[in-house]
Amino acid sequence: MSTIILRTVTRLAVPIVFVTSFALFLQGHNLPGGGFIAGVLTATGLALVYIAYGLDFLEETVFQRSIGGSVEHIQHGLVSDYRRLFAVGLAIATGSGLVFVALGMPFMSYGYTYASFPLYDHMELASAVVFDFGVYCVVVGSLLTILSVVGEE
């Protein structure tokens, strides 16, 4: 199903998808969006790449790595990166809660503050963003793991 049209559209669309998902992630606290939605969107963008170019394309052309056999693709390469990604995501999410325990507050407390930056005046810094980033990593990592493993089948 990989046609020239699909490939061309993919080349144009995927960067936009990534930017959109990043924007959705950042604005999640005050506007529709958030880690989960952004994660699914990122995964969708990459899935589009898979359909248009195949699983090996990312590995070989983008990351310039050699590909292993059928079992190895679970152990090495991109899939293991995805697995690492959702492990890291879980760690970030849990860690963001544990930081509060270290500070003597209950697990999963939350707080926010406003700070001024040179270019971006009066920016809100919420602790939840860290947790949300963990959610984002888990979603992206998990979905892409499933997608690439099943897709390879």
Partner 1 sequence: MQPTPDLPVVLALLALPFVAAALTPLVHRALGERTAYFAAAVALACFGLAASQYGTEGVVSVAWIPALDVSLSLYVDGLSLLVAFLASGVGVLVFTYSAGYMHGEPGLAKYYATLLAFMGSMLGVALAADLVALFVFWELTSIASFVLIGHYSSQDSALYAARKSMFVTVGGGLFMLVGFVLLANATGTFSIATMLDRPELVREALRSQGVLLPVVVLVGVGAAAKSAQVPLHIWLPDAMEAPTPVSAFLHSATMVKAGVYLVGRLRPVLVTDEWTLLFAALGLTTMTVAAVLAIAATDIKQLLAYSTASHLGLIVAGFGFASVLGAETGAFHILNHAMFKAPLFLVAGIVAHEAGTRTISELGGLRRDLPITAAVTVVAALGMAGVPPFNGFYSKEFLFETTYEFAAHAGGLAWVVPAVAVLGSVFTFLYSVRFLMLFFGEKPSGLGHVHRPPLTMLAPPVLLAAVAGTIGLNGLLASFHAGFAPITEFVARVVNSTTAAGHGGHEFSYYVPTYVSPALVMSAATIALGLAAYPAYGRIHDALHALFRTVPPIQADWWYDAAVGGLDGVSRGTARVVQTGQLRTYAAWTLTATAGLALAGYAAVGASLPPLSYSLSIPLLLVLVTAVVAAAAVTVAPSHTTGVLTLSILGFMLAIFYILASAPDLALTQLVVETLVLVIFLLVLDRLPSYYGETRRSRKVRDAGLSVLVGATVTVTVLLATAGGDPSASLNPVSGIDTSHLVELAVEEGGGTNVVNVILVDLRAFDTLGEIGVVAIAALSVVTLIAMRERGGEAE
Indicate the residue among 64 and 147 with the shorter CB distance to partner 1: 147
Q: What is the closest distance, in whole angstroms, from the C-beta atom of residue 135 to partner 1 in the complex?
A: 5
Neighbours of 73 (CB within 10 A): 19
End-to-end CA distance of the chain: 17
Indicate the residue among 58 and 89 with the shorter CB distance to partner 1: 89
Closest alpha carbon to 55 in 33, 77, 38, 71:
77
Closest alpha carbon to 114 in 12, 1, 30:
30
Contact footprint for partner 1 (CB under 8 A)? 1, 24, 28-37, 40-41, 43-44, 47-48, 50-51, 70-71, 74-75, 79, 82-83, 86-87, 89-90, 93-94, 97, 107-108, 110, 112, 124, 126, 128-129, 131-132, 134-135, 138-139, 141-143, 145-147, 149-151, 153
Indicate the residue among 8 and 75 with the shorter CB distance to partner 1: 75
Phi, psi (degrees; rounded to nearest 5) at 123 = -105, 140
